[in-house]
Amino acid sequence: MEQRMRKIDSLGGLACLLLTLISCTVSIFTKDYYMHALFVGWLCIILIYFGFYKQSLFYVVIYTFTAFWLLEMIPKGIVFISPMLLGMVYKFIVPIMAAYLTFKIPSGKLIAVFQKCALPQNIILILLVIIRFIPTISGEFKTIREAMRVRGFTGSVKRVLFHPLQTMEYAVVPLIFRSIKVGDELAAASIVRGIENPTKKNSYYETKFTKVDVIILFISICLMVACILR
């Protein structure tokens, strides 16, 4: 875990944002399946480099299944899995993989980038809450799932499959209330730390590109150009 954190600390906030932007561009403009798969493979290499082995494997499995079903099963008329849903997964998995790194780096790196861009404080506050909300609410969902298991609501797969609405009710309702509370807490924490102070702020984190940033962005841009021109 410490080694993973040391590696992720070498990644800058600006590089993460640019990588996400590049991934969105690839997802929108790439028409060739092989080039699209090549860029997914490059993102998997990045995730593995920073120590996210399970996440990389998860994305590879999802992407492989989605691409196989779209290319092989849909043309044969097997459509019991929605083609629209598969198409959304195929398009969105690339920016999601890049955004995963953005959510893993310290939020201070992103705040430093936003401050360098001279964004209004209200916009910075909103972006900060959004960036911190997703990983925080993910932890809350794990807590709710453990509470459900202790109370016997998810004791078996059979119970979950045969009572999906009841299971969703037990999971979604607490998650909604926790989301409201977490959003308020994140906003309050940002205000206490002086996010609304109109004076010029300095950051502990630098916005300069590191060697890792340059290598990742250079290869990503080259792949993006190849994906668009192919």
pLDDT in tens, 21-52: 999 999 989 888 899 999 999 999 999 998 88
Q: Which of 95, 41, 36, 43 is nearest to 71 (CA)?
A: 36
* Residue 107 in tokens: 């939020």
Determine if residue 156 is left, alpha or beta; phi over 0 gives left, psi from -120 to 50 gives alpha, anything else beta. beta
More confident residue, 195 or 61: 61
Is 52 exposed, middle or buried (CB count within 10 Å of its CB: 0-12, 13-18, 19+)?
buried
Q: Is the pLDDT of residue 58 over 70?
A: yes
Can you give the pTM of this predicted structure?
0.72
What is the pLDDT, as a whole number, of residue 199?
62
